[in-house]
Structure 1
């Protein structure tokens, strides 16, 4: 292509990895990076130029190459994209530039710089957050609000599981990944907020996080939370299923509740030695945990064919122990007396039947 205006190929000389440390209050929005003039003219001396990251309107990035015409360019001149001859840098440079852009936008958000949207939320400090519409639109839920409500958005989602910490994590996640901000203490609130914001990747992460931290000390808290909170679609159901699997399979196995052969199995087979430690401390710990479960949870777990129990008689006597512990609990808590019973069920798929209704 021939043109009176000289075209120069400018490639990034050196850009360091973005520091994740918070910047100081004197944040300068005119930060610059240095690029090296890679002119193909051998007689022209290589020079260094400074390109402003906020005002480079006449720069075009093409495969890690910035094509910048001279300042006395012809207005009718059209820049033609060219391939970068330095192929080794082609994969690294775009990633570094995009990382810098994300970091730059995130810092603008943290300092409320150049924000064009005000998000009004009653449970955050000062009742509002200033953000960027282009970033907020990554959430389909927030995108609809921007398109209908304009520059001031009022959050009117009524969910007690949404709080300030989770809101900041979800908004920050729209700018740059915030997975490392999710903890065992805030994951339930993050899941709730991400679900309303329609952030599938963050919802998936929160769901898997909860499934991986299940233990005897938090299983009841998480279970009661799911029972009493708003339903979060498939995520609530998947977590419930994981809780049931943990209660029926993993927990009895971890606590070593039942020996390989109980007294009932030995009596049936006529061979083997009775485990003198049965029932052990793990057995009684599992009884205590099951005694605290909502009745429908207890019924589903102990009747499940996944329940780690050597014989039907073991299952029956274990269920009786749990029901006895539950009756003592009701009396201690001064609650109305509950009728709960367990029956051996013959000729059916389920060997025992747990019920709270009088026949």
Structure 2
């Protein structure tokens, strides 16, 4: 057990550390004690129990020092840990990390997959047993509903609950941080410095467990993590499910982050980094890098961003030239690729005097392949036009 008196008298100069993430409950060394964040929590007199003398304080249900004396000590030791922080540190270390006195075992089942990386993640999830406590786990609406359903049946303790997963973004690390958040508020510091892959996994875990407060924190971290190195991953992340509805409100937030970065942030980042203009310098490293990055975007994102009035480009002629360079690079990559031929031929159109009040005069289109041409491209590494084949032109719908 944590010695509360020792925690209260700990020197304010002692370093505060974030508890390490256990791979699964029970695996953390017993001598590794996490230090709770420093804070001071006061209970207003109007929130004390009914009939309680406001001059007397309560600590864990027992009478303690008078409130005035407590306030004097808090002022003198205002850098020390608050009582609630000590309780949370105890719950996290002994309850979550070590799984002591647990009455619930949470397990996950994942469908098989041919993807090697995904298979490793799912194998790790299937092997993990999270030793939890039902009263704490019920803070998650998802787990609470399942626990209430179990109350209708006879069971022995500890209760074993198995959850089937299908989301490919879930990992042991993301699930661990999300479950730990039920015990103590260490998740925000645990997210710092982690990869975009972990943040995507944690976002998926918050959606599963319906932890909306933690999900908001993850979205802020993703916003700050947006860069040339991560934007493509986040772009694919929010585009992987039909209609992009897999992560609710968080999905739209991340789409907005991606859109703002692609229309404004990336150009500014390149200018600041290279200290040279992007536009009007087609031979420059900044322009070439921008073309390479945009050539990797999904078609719907490429169309949405390049055609947008928010895309920071000096003129429609510059926009048109840029779009042609991007489409040209994409076309080179598709040569010899059956999937590239199936996607259809892409092109850029520039209109004059259209009278548009919003957007640009540049339009990116993709020509859908006819069945006969698709069959031909399947027989040849380089597709060819079929005689009389119908060709349709369509505009991709905006995101």
TM-score by shorter chain over 0.5: yes
Contact 2:128 2:172 in 1 (8 A): no
Question: Quick one: which of 83, 86, 103 aligns to 2:89?
Answer: 103
SS of residue in 2 equivalent to 1:118? strand
**Counterpart of 1:84?**
67
The alpha-carbon deviation at position 212 of structure 1 amounts to: 1.2
Q: Distance in 2 between matches of 1:343 and 1:309?
A: 17
1:20 Cα shift?
A: 6.4
More deviation, 349-358/317-326: 349-358
Taking structure 1 as reference, are residues 319 and 148 closer, same or farther at Cα in structure 2, changes over 3 Å only?
A: same
Q: Which residue of 2 aligns with 1:154?
A: 162
- Any conservation in 1 of the 2:278–2:286 contact (CA below 8 Å)? no
Q: 294-303 or 217-226: which moved more?
A: 217-226
Gap regions ≥5 residues in structure 2: 11-15, 21-27, 33-54, 110-121, 152-158, 368-391, 394-399
The Cα of 1:89 is off from its aligned counterpart by 3.1
Q: Which secondary structure does the structure 1 equivalent of 2:164 belong to?
A: coil
Provide the residue aligned with 1:247 in structure 2.
262
- Pick from 176, 187, 190: which aligns with 1:181? 190
Cα–Cα, structure 1 residues 333 and 285, in superposed 2: closer, same or farther, change >3 Å?
Answer: farther
Which of 216, 220, 227 is residue 239 of structure 2 equivalent to?
A: 227
Query: Higher relative CO (CA 8 A, sep ≥ 6), structure 1 or 2?
Result: 2
Aligned-residue offset at 1:96: 2.7
Q: Distance in 1 between matches of 2:107 and 2:278?
A: 60
Give the number of equivalent residue pairs: 291
Deviations 1:315-357 (A, max 9, x none): 1111111111111111154531632121123222331111113
Distance across 2 between alignment mates of 1:26 and 1:284: 53
Query: Any conservation in 2 of the 1:248–1:306 contact (CA below 8 Å)?
Result: yes
Does the Cα contact within 8 Å between 1:65 and 1:84 map onto a contact in 2? no
CA RMSD of aligned residues (A): 3.3
**Runs of 4+ residues deviating >4 angstroms:** 17-24, 64-68, 90-95, 257-262
Task: Tell me by how many angstroms 1:239 deviates.
Answer: 0.8
TM-score scaled to structure 1, two decimals? Answer: 0.70
SS of aligned partner of 1:121: strand
Whether 1:143 and 2:144 are equivalent positions in the alignment is: yes
Q: Flag the 1:311–1:147 CA change in 2: closer, same or farther, 3 A.
A: same
TM-score (normalizing by structure 2): 0.64
CA distance in 2, matches of 1:225, 1:166: 15
Q: CA deviation at 1:261?
A: 8.1
Q: Tell me the CA shift for residue 128 of structure 1.
A: 2.6
Per-residue Cα deviation, 1:53-76 (whole angstroms, up to 9, x for no partner): xxxxxxxx96356786xxxxxxxx
Higher share in helix: 2
Task: Indicate if the aligned counterparts of 2:264 and 2:311 stay in contact, CA closer than 8 A.
Answer: yes
Q: Give the aligned partner of residue 282 of structure 1.
A: 286
Alpha-carbon spacing, 1:191–1:322, altered in 2? closer, same or farther (3 Å): same
Give the distance between the partners of 2:332 and 2:231, measured in 1 at CA: 21
The 1:180/1:90 distance shift into structure 2, 3 A limit, reads closer
Structure 2 vs 1, CA of residues 16 and 148 (structure 1 numbering), >3 Å: closer, same or farther?
farther
CA distance in 2, matches of 1:101, 1:203: 24
Residue 206 (str. 1) matches residue 200 (str. 2): no
Matched, 1:311 2:319: no
Q: Describe the shift of the 1:67–1:289 C-alpha distance in structure 2 as closer, same or farther (beyond 3 A).
A: closer
Name the counterpart of 2:119.
none
Seen in structure 2, the aligned counterparts of structure 1 residues 143 and 62 have a Cα distance that, compared at 3 Å, is farther
Deviation at 1:15, TM superposition (A): 2.0
